[in-house]
Copies of this chain bind each other. A is one copy, B any other.
Amino acid sequence: MIPFTYHTPTRYVFGPQAECRAGAELSALGLKNVLVVSGHGSARRSGVLGRVTDSLTEAGITWTELSGIDPNPTDPKVREGIRICREKNIDGLLAVGGGSVIDTAKAIAAGVPYQGDFWDFWAGKAVVGEALPVAVVLTIPAAGSEGSGNSVITLTDGMRKISLRTDVALRPKVAMLNPELTYTLPPEQTAAGIADMMAHILERYFSPTDDVEVTDRVSEGVLQAIIAEAPEVMADPCSYQARANIMWCGTLAHNGVCGTGRLEDWSSHAIEHEISALYNVAHGAGLAVVFPAYLTYVSRTKPAKIAQLGRRVFGVEEADDAKAAAITIERLKAFFASLGLPLTMAQLGVENPDIPLMVKHLHENKGTLLGNYLPLDSEATTEIYRLML
């Protein structure tokens, strides 16, 4: 294990009607005038947004709405939110939605007290110091943003999609998680969320750091739970227990506990970000295409950890590492396919991907070598994109 600091001060409130606690929870944080950030109306139609704002009103908290956040969120809405917050002396953000909404709220929270352009943080030109407090009512278990300090925003000028990681500054103060809110998610969104949370674990699992048995075992445990509950949640979308397990898995997958004491990889996310930035595909669905291709490439030279994953999580009994790795990748693909997830660029809806352009952007954004487990140069990433065809 390598030295680490681990600090997850987010307060999780989990269970039925968690969203109705918004007023009380935000009051406990001392908030009086908040910006409620949401997506394209599903939170309003389902009634959750109404329950949240009623709860704020009952608690004496005034609020302004910013809706219409897109999947793969972009900078214009962030700028709009920063302007509103400054005009109205907003003292906190409440995101009602999934990762895109939460990430936008975080970007606004970072930008409001900052003199320069908020993108400076994403471009690596400045470090987030103070930020407005962010609270979350989660409606899509996938991105794990409710428990992370990260935020992914795409700059429309050049379609640069960049993930900002902070230790604590942008971690939500409170996250309200009601599994019932996820009953109405379309199956493809549930499935993409499952791929996303699995990827968050695998990005940490494929680490050059040895001797992290406890972190490996916790990671494998969360993966096993996802694999056990996923069929149930697809077959019976209103199974509270399955939805609850999947929702909490999504948080644990990305709040850091699966990464303690080791270098993480994150090359697959970077590879996917170029696909969703150019072709606006669902991030989770993109990851279902990327991960098997990444593992296939890696298995050619470093099969041992893939074999361990297979033996501990996918029931693989093969003794030879290379063979075990191959079986593991097939089982992962079969699992994704069983959820209706795409496995190729074509199935993802991208018929003729511009691989050279994605590779160019990728290494411009991330440097010559990508990832830590098996550092990837442009030849390697080109091959990985080809493996998705």
Contacts and interface: CB of A to CB of B under 8 A. Distances in A.
Interface of A: 1-16, 18, 179, 210-222, 224-226, 228-229, 241, 244-245, 248-249, 252, 257, 260-261
Contact of A257 (B14, B213, B215, B257): B257
Given A217-B222, A257-B257, 16 more contacts: A1-B179, A3-B14, A3-B16, A5-B13, A6-B11, A6-B14, A9-B11, A14-B261, A214-B221, A214-B225, A214-B226, A214-B245, A214-B249, A218-B218, A218-B221, A244-B261
B6 A211 contact: no
A144 to B, nearest CB: 14
B8 A8 contact: yes
A263 to B, nearest CB: 14
Given A211-B245, A225-B213, A241-B211, A15 B7 contact: no
A224 B3 CA distance: 22
A257 B6 CA distance: 14
A245 B7 contact: no
A217 to B, nearest CB: 3
A212 B245 contact: yes
A360 to B, nearest CB: 38
B214 A1 contact: no
A299 to B, nearest CB: 24
Nearest to A242: B211
A171 to B, nearest CB: 10
10 contacts: A3-B15, A3-B18, A5-B13, A5-B14, A7-B9, A14-B260, A14-B261, A213-B225, A218-B218, A218-B252
